[in-house]
Amino acid sequence: MEGVLTQLAAGFVSVFSPLNFAALTVGLVIGLLIAVLPGLTLVMGVVLALPFTYKMDVTSAVILLTAMYVSGTYAGAWTSILFRVPGEPIDVPLLWDGYTMARKGRAAQALGWTLLAALFGGLVAASAMVLLSQPIAKVALTLSTPEYFAIIFFGLASVVSLGGASLANALISLFIGLLLATVGVDDTYGAHRFTFDVPILADGIDYLIVMVGAYGLGEVFTRLERGFRSAPLESVGAARTRLPRLKEALALKGTFVRSSLLGLLIGIVPGAGATVASFLSYGAEAQYGRRRSQLGDGIAEGIVAPQAAATSSVGGAMIPLMTMGIPGSGATAIILGAFLLHGLQPGPQVFQTSSHIVYAVFASVFLAVIGMCVIGYFAVRAMVRVLEFPEVIVSAYVVMLCILGAFAARNNITDVWLLVVFGILGYAAERWRFPVPPLVLGAILGPLAESTFMTTMISFDNDWTVFFTRPVAGTVMLLSLAALLLPVVRQLRHKRRIVA
């Protein structure tokens, strides 16, 4: 424990170095602006920022992206509360009580509760991330390939189970993502797979191209089809923040703690993320909250629950990334990309070989949480004004940054053509209700899934039952199957209810 605190203290010192601190500040401001800007989502923002980090030091690069990730879960609340414009699904639950509270003339109080919830949830999750990471990394060192495969399978199963209007569509999306990851020269045999004599395809399809195309360009195409028509803004008064009194905050301690822990746990599950955390936490408040019957009437619990959970999910999502190298969300996948671009593979070994970087990143999460709240408190009025910026101009630059990001990855125009293809694929997925997250997570985790599966098959004489007979792997596989069956069970129950 003492060692952890010493390393964390060194991490804080590192973050306060001029370059890292500048990266943190820039990341926070851009993250907050992105969450407010029309047409930009948290993941898109982090994707688009990646090319700007190519020449940065790994610590500064990861600090910048992490700061954007943290602050991106917060500022969307402002537009939900003030203008009834949820930047992305994370912020939808904030409409129900946040906007309602604002319409009753208490917008400043609603923003105050949001700030306090983000601060509390963020700090709880950051503390848990620091305390849990090293023990988890130690356990991860003892795991073998069947366990790793089972964990990856769990991540893929949860993203399928969570998203989309159709389980079958989510599965198809996932399979396309996994297939994209097989393009290139195979590691074991050196065989060319789906390269079609295109030289650059021998190096495979970079998952960042898939992400930038599907999330960035695909989203712009979807908005273009709608003619960039945003709903008219319904302002509910001047944007300023009034923090609740200590007594008022203490009265909600149960909500703060429950939501933060729930967000942390959901963040740890690969495939889940801030949106799931936000909705589930609101749902938990509706089930167990003291004033559950008043939810929706503009009470503080309805603001604290989703916001605390959304921000705390960031700390949770950083745990599997740093300890096992498994990104559980779109944003952590890009952070993984930043690590890999700088030649560093997150995982249990990184705690021994590059612990100074790990703890600098951890320290930056604490400072990012505090920093975003400080900036949010003083600058909310100025920042929400960017909502008036024409969406089409923002989108034009999003396309430019997508193209430049794809080109800069390997300085090859074929990657830009691939980007356009994935942009169209992303649009088509949205149009025909195939969820994009399983496709992207499939492309990201595909190589790891295949290599752990193939290594297991080689080590255990093609005996696939090892995934079920080894205690840890078996438990995780059963959880995965349960996750996959959950939507089916819910559907059957729903049917039965209708019949009854």
Q: Of 119, 130, 127, 369, whose CA–CA distance to 256 is shortest?
A: 119
Which of 29-37, 65-73, 138-146, 455-463 is the region at the interface with another protein (rule: CB under 8 A)? 455-463
Which of 323-331, 351-359, 371-379, 402-410 is the region at the interface with another protein (rule: CB under 8 A)? 402-410
CA quadruple 10, 315, 310, 215: dihedral positive or negative? positive
Considering the rule CB under 8 A, would residue 182 count as an interface residue with another protein?
yes
CB of 194 to another protein, least distance (A): 6
Q: Smaller CB distance to another protein: residue 89 or 474?
A: 89
Question: Which phi and psi angles does 138 have, rounded to 5°?
Answer: -65, -45
**Site residues (CB under 8 A) for another protein, limited to 224-283:** 224-229, 275-276, 279-280, 282-283
Helix or strand holding residue 197 (H, E): none
Q: Smaller CB distance to another protein: residue 172 or 322?
A: 172
Beta bridge partners of 192: 185
CB of 492 to another protein, least distance (A): 8
**Site residues (CB under 8 A) for another protein, limited to 79-108:** 84, 86, 89, 92-93, 95-96
Q: Which residue has the tokens 């199957």?
A: 481
**Site residues (CB under 8 A) for another protein, limited to 203-222:** 217, 220-221
Six-digit token string for 413: 């125009």
Cα 179 to Cα 44, 159, 172, 196: the distances in Å are: 23, 17, 10, 15
CB of 495 to another protein, least distance (A): 6
Six-digit token string for 26: 């820039």
Q: Smaller CB distance to another protein: residue 2 or 461?
A: 461
**Site residues (CB under 8 A) for another protein, limited to 459-478:** 461-462
**Site residues (CB under 8 A) for another protein, limited to 97-156:** none
Considering the rule CB under 8 A, would residue 191 count as an interface residue with another protein?
yes
Question: Which phi and psi angles does 184 have, rounded to 5°?
Answer: 120, -170
Q: Which of 21, 377, 407, 468 binds another protein (CB under 8 A)?
A: 407
**Site residues (CB under 8 A) for another protein, limited to 274-333:** 275-276, 279-280, 282-283, 286, 296
CB of 490 to another protein, least distance (A): 6
Considering the rule CB under 8 A, would residue 340 count as an interface residue with another protein?
no
Considering the rule CB under 8 A, would residue 168 count as an interface residue with another protein?
yes
Q: Of 343, 265, 262, 358, whose CA–CA distance to 309 is shortest?
A: 262
CB of 330 to another protein, least distance (A): 14
Six-digit token string for 36: 């407010």
Q: Of 374, 363, 356, whose CA–CA distance to 15 is shortest?
A: 363
Answer whether 142's CB lies under 8 Å from 257's CB: no
State the first-to-last Cα distance of the chain, in angstroms, to the nearest integer: 56
Which of 6-14, 26-34, 339-347, 489-497 is the region at the interface with another protein (rule: CB under 8 A)? 489-497
Considering the rule CB under 8 A, would residue 40 count as an interface residue with another protein?
no
Q: Which of 336, 453, 470, 476 binds another protein (CB under 8 A)?
A: 453
Considering the rule CB under 8 A, would residue 162 count as an interface residue with another protein?
yes
Considering the rule CB under 8 A, would residue 424 count as an interface residue with another protein?
yes
Q: Of 14, 61, 35, 23, whose CA–CA distance to 371 is shortest?
A: 23
**What string of DSSP letters covers 287-344?**
HH-TTGGGTTSS-THHHHHHHHHHHHHHHHHHHHHHHHS---SHHHHHHHHHHHHTT-
